[in-house]
Amino acid sequence: MTNHWIDYQHSDVIMSIGLNTAENHPVSMKWIDKAREKGGKFIVVDPRVTRSAAVADIYAPIRPGTDIAFLGGLINYAIERGLYHEEYVKHYTNASYLINPAFKFEAGVFSGLDDSKYDKDTWTYQTDAQGNVKKDPSLSDPNCVFQLLKKHYSRYTVDAVVKTTGCPRSAYLAVAETFCATGRPGKAGNINYAMGITQHTYGSQNVRAIAVLQLLLGNMGIAGGGVNAQRGESNVQGSTDLAMLYHIIPGYNPCPSAAAHPTWADYKAKTTPAAGYWINRPKFVASMLKAWYTDAAPGNDFRYDYLPKLDAKNRSHLGIFDEMYAGRVKGFFAWGQNPAVGGANAGKERAALAKLDWLVAIDLFETETAGFWKRPGVHSKTIGTEVFLLPAANSYEKQGTISNSGRWIQWRYEAVHPPGEAKSDLWIADKLFRAIRNAYTAGGAFPEPIQKMNWNYGGGDLDEPDIIKVAVEINGYTVADGKPIAGFGVLAEDGSTACGCWIYAGYYNDLNDPPAKRRSRVDASGLGMYHNWSFAWPANRRIVYNRASCDPAGRPWNPNLALFRWDGGQWIQNDVPDFAAGVAPEESAQRPFIMLAEGQGLLFSSAMADGPFPEHYEPWESPVKNPISAQQTNPVLFDFSLPGELAEVGSADFPYVATTYRVCEHWQSGIMTRNSPWLNELMPEMFVELSPELAAQKGIKNGDRVAIISKRGRIRAIACVTSRLKALSVSGRRVEVIGLPWHWGYAGFSTGDSANLLTPSVGDANTQIPEYKAFLCDIRSTPVDMKEDDINER
């Protein structure tokens, strides 16, 4: 998230796509309403008339899984009509860079596709004899990024977008005219998104398409602009920052690969770019290793050999459960997660759990995952998995930080003590590690990384560890005196600094007045920055890439919302600079996007696994052939499905598009909210939304119990017949969309079927996030006494 929620008030236009902000992120609506009070417009792009769409200035219905077509059409609209921010594009993006003449795009695929993987040799810049990138400042060369971008999206005409997405032409034109008007200097357009964008086989490219559009319109780095991901719970941002994902280590550094990075020298050489702020990666990782191992030093490569490294297996959620299903995983910790409800193709994941030797579930209640062995229709005696349930404390029953959608790291205090034997996550992790280290005293294949790990948080055998010691380690400290460091600028690759997560450096740099605990309501900026309310990573910066808020001479694009202004001798600052503030503005203008090697925003990016430009592909299951190109689906998606689980294109047996979503009365897999009687009273049962036309066609009345069926499973739900959903005209045919919340399971006070019994085990080409948001199904009327074993087991 480049900006923050308070900053929404400065937007001239806010487009919510792939999220229901009013229902699932309600606090953000306060600031959206502030913008509207000032004359701002609110656009909602969604398959359903949600509570957000109900109050929108413009509502644009869309077929699930067609976001790139929708956004690509806006890119084309802006270019063809000259609505892009030309000065911004020329100076602050790689629009002028010349691309290898061998680069091609034909029949829906980019050059280099070979056996479901791209060879990127043609996705390169042209360089001169000195290795400098060749550029065309006029943006007229056919091989420059701008012309390639223009050509690529010329196919995304309004007619093509309407045909693909099902969005009515009038609504789409209203969106295009309103949002692309923010391409003028002094205007600000904000795009916010959530899982409706990411949970696709091209989810990363959905986000890229948003970024490309925002760069074209000059909406990055400015007040009221940005690409803003709204998180589904309070600390999703923090869990990602601290590397809960398999492919990164803390601070978004890449996880080492055993094949590519066997040594510290290999890791530095292959992951450190030649330019951009990531050239400091060796300092960040060396300091992290120093925090973990006291004796880490240049002479022993900072104990890099102790760091676990990725092997050739896929370690994503989908990959792990595929291995588990094949019987190649013996034990599994389900720590605060409930894959028996939330996992893609949940029937497969439940079956995989039965092949484990042991399972540890750490949660507030007995989840469906913890109780998978006694679920309806299953003979428990046939399951050999030994299950341990460790009772955990709720977020209000422990202290520590959370990092919200705006990257603000805020300290939260314990409100009440956890009940009974419930313990904090820190307590559980501490006791587990101590037990594991004790076991390694008897020997092991490689005991040193465990035995020598720096683990000095106190706590003893039964007491709570000292969370302040953990906070200081994450913040970073100088090794000589143990004092917290002020920020990441002092980190070094000589063993003198230790830092658990470089982007958090500074959040706990004062033991008497830690920034994460600050709650000042004074806003010196006048722009809603509140720099003394908590700490925003990195460096307490509230809007990232903020050099782009001014022109090359240092004049703000919008003087009324100036993040910075050059007064002829120095910068007048209303935020922490994301650039070298000690140099002339013309010099800092060369690198406004400092984290990138180019120093400029990337309209063309070779980093993506599935193409340098976002391209529309159909979901893995689709009711139509791809209207944009001959390539039906993402050619490099990850497919973990079982044989026979794919419905054919335009399937007569599964003719309807299903999408999943959340409701405000329940949370995630529902295990907390479905154990709350008052919330169950508000939203008592699993339901399915369908249009009145589809209901009439199928003989279904509001309140009927119906069956929803996909190639992977079958569930039961209460029919909610509603005009919030309407059939869309797609490629000349009517396509019905049904909506499914996914909060139910067989545990808790309120039980029901998980929508994820229907979703496929396929994932994004870059992140492997599952495609929850678009798949094919059928809906049928069914007897009320439908047996549970018919519903929950395939």
Closest CA to 406 of 577, 556, 530: 530
Q: Encode 311-331 in three state secondary structure.
A: CCCCCCHHHHHHHHHCCCCCE
Answer yes or no: is pLDDT of 641 > 70.
Answer: yes
- Structural domain includes residue 58: yes
Average pLDDT score over residue span 493-504: 98
List, for residues 533-556, the tens digit of each pLDDT value: 999 999 999 999 999 999 999 999
**218-266 pLDDT per residue, tens:** 999 999 999 999 987 778 899 999 999 999 999 999 999 999 999 999 9
Residue 127: which domain range? 5-229
Q: What are the pLDDT digits (tens) for 283-321? A: 999 999 999 999 999 999 999 999 999 999 999 999 999
Residue 135 DSSP label:
B
Could you report the per-residue pLDDT of 650-667, keeping only the tens digit for each?
999 999 999 999 999 999
Residue 315 falls within a domain, yes or no? no
Count of other CB atoms within 10 angstroms of residue 242: 20
Instruction: Give dist(CA 477, CA 160) in Å, integer.
Output: 56
The confidence score (pLDDT) of residue 789 equals 43
CB 286 within 8 A of CB 300: no
> Residue 662 domain-assigned?
yes
87 belongs to a structural domain: yes
As a whole number, mean pLDDT of residues 331-360 equals 97
Residue 783 binned pLDDT confidence (cut-offs 50, 70, 90): low
At which of 196, 229, 262 does a domain end? Answer: 229
In this structure, is residue 762 part of a structural domain? Answer: yes
- Give the model confidence (pLDDT) of 16-74 as tens digits: 999 999 999 989 999 999 999 999 999 999 999 999 999 999 999 999 999 999 999 99
Does 100 map to a domain?
yes
pLDDT at 129 over 90: yes
Residue 746 lies in a domain: yes
- Give the DSSP per-residue string, 206-229: HHHHHHHHHHHTT-SSSTT-SEEE
Which of 229, 246, 276 terminates a domain? The answer is: 229
Q: What is the CATH number of the domain that holds 158?
A: 3.40.228.10
Domain boundary among 194, 229, 264: 229
Residue 612 lies in a domain: no
CATH of the domain at 677: 2.40.40.20
Structure-model confidence comparison of residues 363 and 793, the more confident one: 363
Q: Are 188 and 561 in contact (CB under 8 A)?
A: yes
- Report the pLDDT averaged over residues 416-435: 96
- Considering only CA atoms, which of 713, 788, 756, 786 is closest in space to residue 376? 788
| Number of domains comprising the chain | 2
Task: Answer whether residue 788 shows pLDDT above 80.
Answer: no
According to the model, what pLDDT value does residue 558 have? 98
Alpha carbon distance 272, 298 (integer Å): 17
pLDDT at 459: 87
